[in-house]
A and B are shown apart, each in its own frame.
Chain A
């Protein structure tokens, strides 16, 4: 039987900056992790964090921007996603995770100066009230991994319910949705899952919820009135990938109503060259690197384009069988790959950003 229990993240240490000691987030963290040793520090040193073992939860004051644009590249069509930056790192241990190369520290880090975050978010949404804002918290962390501890969903979801031109996307590989029940979401929160075949989840996403648990959580959210999104990203080529992904799409169709799906993204495995060595060192048994990779237009290593196109075509064909109306998009691909894989370019439809905005 697959588990649908809330996954718990239990750090071995807490390191908390004194400046955020009195914040509500820290109070909740302390209430939850009462037995975990705590170090109170003036400032979490970046050097220490870089040598970290990933077992420490760092709670800090964040001096930077809480709202930022997703780092697209000129050579690829970008979806115009905006990041609501609430913390960094993840403990799910996915072998392919780009954060391993992108972030110097391995510890999870939460930003506790949420008062600053709210100010900035309100200002951001208020500064361009006619624009559609698609914001997500799942770029540098899993959106719901620490939700049972932080309860941030209980603040964010009602806030977005009152935003007529903005949606919040909570992207996760967990089944941590308990706190989403009963919230007044006003249809302005989309709960999203990354999906992969169960055999890949076992080998490449060891700390994440299994496929059935993710889909069961998605079904619960759907029952609570939320719209859903799914990300087949990274799509991974392995010996039985066609059958593997077909099985996932079948289960998806069986578990959720395609009419409640806001969008589905497809993106094949890609990574900065530096990640290759990290994957070898940390996940020696992983077969991820067995496929052939070429440097893409953005310098990241990707599958050779013929394989990417083949995977996108296969997935989009499977998904269209669930519903012809599904909004399927490619993440970080060039216009020519769009045409070859899906038969059109978003440019013909007003741009990818506009396509997604239309679904909000």
Chain B
């Protein structure tokens, strides 16, 4: 096997379609463009000669693309012999990349998926997951592999940070139409990551119970109407969409919450006083929140609240009453 050597390569000699060693994904970083413009190529790309002629990129594809974009040709590259096995080329690519930057989630998925073609799973888990700053775990490996099921627009969003990894993992097992529908909703409304996950779970669970795909759940008239009301603040509409889904998924809890709100309003608690139910009405611990400025204000509030607490209506609020099953 010949030693690697340096050689100036014209772009026409590179087979850009051969992505067998490619692990980069995402837009070219502007900082790289500016760096090459300012001081030229500092790190030499690695190519491999192909038996049929020409070269495949092993490492440095983004550097080469920037050079091509800037018209810097030919580029001096390190050339690996054609006899170097594909698994070894891939290993060069991975180690070269992780030494200089943190890979994005799509790239991590690509590394793991491609490595599995050459190495047994335990080795991929033990050697490459820590290299990618991942916990070495078979479950996590499966989750990363599943990300590659996402459509290109979602992968793009995942690579550039518009789609969070946790949301992507929750979308990946779904059917493509359901993923698209949820992804579109998340593009429209700035839900937090945890709320995105909650919405996915709600749509899936409602769909399972009502015998329809999650995409159809999101087509509900109430959601469609909120999506159309563009004059209203997005934040308010997002919260209403979430509440609509919560109510549809958990009608008993929602009904109890609504009744609790109605009944506490009817109690006539003094201004600045709020009765807070136990979380999900589980357990006997209720809380009373009270805002006041002076001691005499507090004394007045406590006298009023004490009178209200003695009323049967107050007791009824605490007890609630079972709702019949739907």
Write out the residue numbers on chain A whose beta carbons fall within 8 Å of the beta carbon of B320: 306
Write out the residue numbers on chain B whose beta carbons fall within 8 Å of the beta carbon of A335: 284
Known contacts A292-B249, A304-B256, A306-B252; A336 and B283 CB within 8 A of each other:
yes
B205 touches A289 (CB 8 A): yes
Known contacts A289-B205, A292-B250, A340-B319; A241 and B280 CB within 8 A of each other:
no
- Chain A nearest CB: distance from B67 CB in Å? 47
A292 touches B253 (CB 8 A): yes
Q: Which of A294, A295, A335 has the most CB of B within 10 A?
A: A294
A305 touches B324 (CB 8 A): no
By beta carbon, the residue of chain B nearest A292 is B250
A297 touches B252 (CB 8 A): no
A-B contact count (CB 8 A): 60
A294 touches B280 (CB 8 A): yes
B325 touches A304 (CB 8 A): no
Q: Mark A303-316, 1 if CB is under 8 A from B, else 0.
A: 01111011001000
Known contacts A310-B322, A340-B319; A304 and B253 CB within 8 A of each other:
yes
A241 and B250 CA atoms in complex are apart in Å by 18
B281 CB within 8 Å of chain A: yes
B282 CB within 8 Å of chain A: yes
- Chain B nearest CB: distance from A298 CB in Å? 9
Q: Mark A271-312, 1 if CB is under 8 A from B, else 0.
A: 000000000000000010110101111000010111101100
Known contacts A307-B322, A310-B325; A75 and B283 CB within 8 A of each other:
yes
By beta carbon, the residue of chain B nearest A308 is B322
A241 and B319 CA atoms in complex are apart in Å by 24
Write out the residue numbers on chain B whose beta carbons fall within 8 Å of the beta carbon of A306: 252, 256, 281, 320-323
Q: Mark B249-282, 1 if CB is under 8 A from A, else 0.
A: 1111100100000000000000000000001111
B283 touches A304 (CB 8 A): no
Write out the residue numbers on chain B whose beta carbons fall within 8 Å of the beta carbon of A241: 325
A265 CB within 8 Å of chain B: no
A307 and B325 CA atoms in complex are apart in Å by 7
Q: Which of B319, B321, B325 has the most CB of A within 10 A?
A: B325
B101 CB within 8 Å of chain A: no
A198 CB within 8 Å of chain B: no
B287 CB within 8 Å of chain A: no
Write out the residue numbers on chain B whose beta carbons fall within 8 Å of the beta carbon of A296: 280, 282
B322 touches A334 (CB 8 A): no
- Chain A nearest CB: distance from B257 CB in Å? 10
Write out the residue numbers on chain A whose beta carbons fall within 8 Å of the beta carbon of B319: 340
Q: Choose among B205, B209, B281, B324 the residue that contacts A304 (Cβ–Cβ < 8 A).
A: B281
B252 touches A307 (CB 8 A): yes
Write out the residue numbers on chain A whose beta carbons fall within 8 Å of the beta carbon of B256: 304, 306
A297 touches B282 (CB 8 A): yes
A113 and B43 CA atoms in complex are apart in Å by 65
Total A residues in contact with B, Cβ cutoff 8 Å: 24
A304 and B282 CA atoms in complex are apart in Å by 8
Q: Mark B269-305, 1 if CB is under 8 A from A, else 0.
A: 0000000000111111000000000000000000000
- Chain A nearest CB: distance from B122 CB in Å? 11
A237 CB within 8 Å of chain B: yes
A334 touches B209 (CB 8 A): no
A294 touches B209 (CB 8 A): no
- Chain B nearest CB: distance from A310 CB in Å? 4
Known contacts A290-B209, A304-B256; A334 and B251 CB within 8 A of each other:
no
A304 and B260 CA atoms in complex are apart in Å by 15
A289 and B250 CA atoms in complex are apart in Å by 12
By beta carbon, the residue of chain A nearest B251 is A292
- Chain B nearest CB: distance from A39 CB in Å? 22
Write out the residue numbers on chain A whose beta carbons fall within 8 Å of the beta carbon of B281: 304-306
Write out the residue numbers on chain A whose beta carbons fall within 8 Å of the beta carbon of B219: none
- Chain A nearest CB: distance from B197 CB in Å? 13
By beta carbon, the residue of chain A nearest B321 is A306
B208 CB within 8 Å of chain A: yes
A292 touches B252 (CB 8 A): yes
Write out the residue numbers on chain A whose beta carbons fall within 8 Å of the beta carbon of B284: 334-336
Q: Which of B205, B250, B322 has the most CB of A within 10 A?
A: B322
Write out the residue numbers on chain B whose beta carbons fall within 8 Å of the beta carbon of A305: 280-282
A192 and B93 CA atoms in complex are apart in Å by 63
- Chain B nearest CB: distance from A135 CB in Å? 30
Known contacts A304-B256, A306-B320; A297 and B283 CB within 8 A of each other:
yes
A304 touches B208 (CB 8 A): no
Known contacts A289-B205, A304-B256, A335-B284; A295 and B325 CB within 8 A of each other:
no
Write out the residue numbers on chain B whose beta carbons fall within 8 Å of the beta carbon of A304: 250, 252-253, 256, 280-281
By beta carbon, the residue of chain A nearest B323 is A306
- Chain A nearest CB: distance from B171 CB in Å? 16
Q: Choose among A289, A292, A302, A340 the residue that contacts B208 (Cβ–Cβ < 8 A).
A: A289
A292 and B280 CA atoms in complex are apart in Å by 12
- Chain B nearest CB: distance from A164 CB in Å? 39
By beta carbon, the residue of chain B nearest A296 is B282
Known contacts A290-B209, A307-B252; A237 and B325 CB within 8 A of each other:
yes
By beta carbon, the residue of chain A nearest B206 is A290
A241 and B325 CA atoms in complex are apart in Å by 10
A290 and B208 CA atoms in complex are apart in Å by 7
Q: Mark A336-355, 1 if CB is under 8 A from B, else 0.
A: 10001000000000000000
A310 and B279 CA atoms in complex are apart in Å by 20
Q: Mark A65-103, 1 if CB is under 8 A from B, else 0.
A: 000000000010000000000000000000000000000
Write out the residue numbers on chain A whose beta carbons fall within 8 Å of the beta carbon of B252: 292, 304, 306-307
> When A and B form their complex, which 6 residue pairs have the shortest distance between CB atoms, in order from nearest?
A294-B280, A292-B250, A290-B209, A306-B322, A310-B322, A304-B252
Residues of A within 8 A of B (CB): 75, 237, 241-242, 287, 289-290, 292, 294-297, 302, 304-307, 309-310, 313, 334-336, 340
- 29 A-B pairs within 8 Å (CB atoms) are namely A75-B283, A237-B325, A242-B325, A287-B209, A289-B208, A290-B208, A294-B280, A294-B282, A295-B282, A302-B282, A304-B250, A304-B253, A304-B280, A305-B280, A306-B252, A306-B281, A306-B321, A306-B322, A306-B323, A307-B252, A307-B323, A307-B325, A309-B322, A310-B325, A334-B282, A334-B284, A336-B283, A336-B284, A340-B319
Q: A294-B280, A336-B283 given; name 8 further pairs at CB < 8 Å.
A: A290-B209, A304-B280, A304-B281, A306-B281, A307-B252, A310-B325, A313-B322, A340-B319
